[in-house]
Amino acid sequence: MTDVHVQAATVEESEPVSNATKAHQRRWWILAVLAISQLMVILDGTIVNIALPTAQHALAFSNSDRQWIVTGYSLAFGSLLLLGGRISDYIGRRNALVIGLIGFAGASAFGAAAMNFTMLVVARTIQGAFGALLAPAVLALLTTTFNDPAERGRAFGIYGAVAGAGGAIGLLLGGVLTSFASWRWTLLVNLFFAAIGVAGALVLMYNDRGVDRDPLDWPGVLTGTAGLFALVYGFSHADTTSWTDVYTIASLGLAVVLLAAFVTIQRRTRFPLLPLRVLMDRNRGGALVAMLVAGSGMFGVFLFLTYYLQVTLGYSAVMTGAAFLPMVVGLTITAQLSNISLLPKFGPRPLIPFGMLVAAGSLIWLTRLGLHSSYLTDILPPLLVLGLGVGFIFAPAFNTATLGVANHDAGVASALVNTSQQIGGSIGTALLNTLAGAAATSYLVGKAPTALNVELASVHSYTSAFTYSSWIFIGGAVLTGALLRSGAPQHSKGEVRVSAH
């Protein structure tokens, strides 16, 4: 009987090692699956935006309703990310990935079949909810798959390039699908990405057990989720109304109260939704600030440069998407360079602030645009420079934010990264739209409202947004320079050393 027990124990102990070895051998294929899954979530933020005017005409909903197609997704995604990270730790990251992909694809198919506004906004909200489960699982799987510093740098360089370039790819793909197929294909294309992701996850990854079986922190879930919801809603409402609107003020005030209560609960509860130890590391805090700033600042580029190309220069949706591709090339180059060669030697402190200053410089360059600027001489060069700068931000920030995190904290740490980027985008949306609108209004003061002056006011609003975005990046450079530690990153004792697929 003893021999039988020993044999059984030996088999049981050797099985996880075998699975981990197989996962390690397949790690680059796993990276491809994770990159495709993440790309689906990232590009969905811009691919649908391109199709919105066409969808609005087809389904006959108002301009005020149109905003909810974007806001519904943002509210669900932003408010549920922390819970999504905790669920992925509880049920296993592969399970969370597969469920997230299937749910996202199902919501996309439902949205593509929409016959009215209600169906479409419900579909987008469900997309956001499953995206909140999917995104932390992707980053947590990446974190636990690549442990070797050299390979980790290359993997996070690819992931950072995908995350940074996803918005631009969404613009191009959305333009192509809307122009040559139908606005419904901007949703249906997610089924293609999801099918690859689900098949890859089931074939390449083994069914990992949940690493965190602690009881769920319900007070933390309620205050954290409601607080993030109120925060995202407040910024969205400010974008469509004003900062002085009673609902905007009430929502942002409620967000402060709820998030303060959330932090208090996390400090006192035995099994917190967000263990505060995850935030205590200076490098991780600096990386989260970097994602917040980059999310805010990049909004100015995608939205207002899109407006400029389409409204002022008369570009089609496809041409607009193609115009951003050089930025993607620059971003991809520096994402690899920074993560593989520079981050292991110098750490994140010189890289991320430098990238922000380069991004700020490119945005200041874009403020010179006028009514008849040339793409080759006035837009292409600063876009290339912007891509080079942003590559020094996204890839090192993703890597640093998850470096050294314990296995049972990987899901929540990954959720924090996505939350920072999402909240940053919400802030950028509200703040820059408000400032750009004010700039257009002030430009027309004392001038006749002729067609030329109105067009000049629009260009002035775009260039003002680029100026404000540059200030955001400059402020981010100062903050991250103060927070991040000098020197090469160190692998802490708590860092994940084995694959958890």
Residue 207 shares a structural domain with residue 300: yes
Helix and strand counts by DSSP (H, E) for the chain: 18, 0
The answer to the question of residue 10 being in a domain is: no
322 and 193 within one domain = yes
Position 90 pLDDT exceeds 80: yes
Contacts of 5 (CB under 8 A, 6+ apart): none
Joined tokens for residue 324: 């951003």
Q: How confident is the model at residue 21 (pLDDT cuts 50, 70, 90)?
A: low
373 and 224 housed in the same domain: no
Here the CATH number for the domain that contains residue 117 is 1.20.1250.20
In a domain, 2, yes or no: no
Is the dihedral angle over the CA atoms 218, 500, 107, 168 positive or is it negative?
positive
Give 451-464 pLDDT, tens digit per residue.
Answer: 888 899 999 999 99
Q: Give the mean model confidence (pLDDT) for residues 125-130.
A: 93
1 belongs to a structural domain: no
Q: Yes or no: say if 157 and 432 are a contact pair by the CB < 8 Å rule.
A: no
Residue 250 lies in a domain: yes
pLDDT 10s digits, 202-219:
988 877 765 666 777 889
Residue 20, pLDDT > 80, answer no
User: Angle 234-131-249 (CA atoms, 0-180°, nearest 5)?
Assistant: 5
Phi and psi at 313, nearest 5°, equal -90, -10
Predicted confidence (pLDDT) at residue 253 exceeds the cutoff of 90: yes
At 274 the three-state DSSP class reads coil
Residues 195, 230 within the same domain: no
Q: Are 149 and 71 within one domain?
A: yes
Return the closest-CA partner of residue 480 out of 412, 376, 373, 392. Answer: 392
Full domain range(s) for residue 233: 217-272
**CA-to-CA distance for 388 and 365, rounded, in angstroms?**
14
Could you tell me if 297 and 421 are in contact, meaning their C-beta atoms sit under 8 angstroms apart?
A: no
Per-residue pLDDT tens digits for 131-187: 999 989 998 888 888 877 778 888 888 888 887 778 788 888 888 888 888 889 999
**CA gap 96, 376 in Å, rounded:** 45
Distance CA 325, CA 187 (A): 22
Q: What would the DSSP string read from start to end of 299-322?
A: HHHHHHHHHIIIIIS---HHHHHH
Domain count, the chain: 2
Please tell me whether residues 134 and 278 are part of one structural domain. yes
Looking at the fold, whether 306 and 455 belong to one and the same domain comes out as: yes
Q: Are residues 91 and 224 in the same domain?
A: no
Residue 497 lies in a domain: no
Question: What are the structure tokens assigned to 48, written together?
Answer: 């649908």
Q: How many residues in the chain?
A: 501
Q: What is the pLDDT of residues 276-296, one digit of tens each?
A: 888 888 899 899 999 999 988
* 293 and 360 both lie in a single domain: yes
Q: Using CA atoms, how far apart are residues 169 and 327, in angstroms rounded to an integer?
A: 10
Looking at this protein, which amino acid is placed at residue 124? R
How far apart, in whole angstroms, are the C-alpha atoms of residue 297 and residue 468? 8
**pLDDT of 258 higher than 90:** yes
Residues 6+ apart with CB under 8 A from 346: 487, 488
Q: Whole-angstrom Cα distance, residue 442 to residue 398?
A: 39
Q: Rounded distance, CA 445 to CA 395, Å? A: 44
Residue owning tokens 């009514």: 371
Angle at CA 41, nearest 5°, toward 413 and 29? Answer: 80
Residues 231 and 172 occupy one common structural domain? no
Residue 461 per-residue DSSP state: H
Same domain, residue pair 163 and 222: no
Q: Minimal CA–CA distance to 426: which of 181, 120, 108, 73?
A: 73
Cβ neighbours of residue 73 under 8 Å, at least 6 residues apart? 44, 45, 48, 124, 125, 127, 128, 131
Q: Which single residue is written with the structure tokens 């399970």?
A: 95
- Distance, CA of 294 to CA of 384 (rounded, Å): 17
The Cα–Cα gap between 483 and 313 comes to 41
Q: Which of 68-72, 128-132, 186-190, 368-372 has the lowest mean pLDDT?
A: 68-72
Q: Say what the pLDDT of residue 33 is.
A: 92
Average pLDDT, the chain: 85
Q: How many CB atoms lie within 10 A of CB 206?
A: 18
Is 399 domain-assigned?
yes
Kindly state whether residues 193 and 242 are assigned to the same domain. no
| Sign of the alpha-carbon torsion through 358, 364, 366, 372 | negative
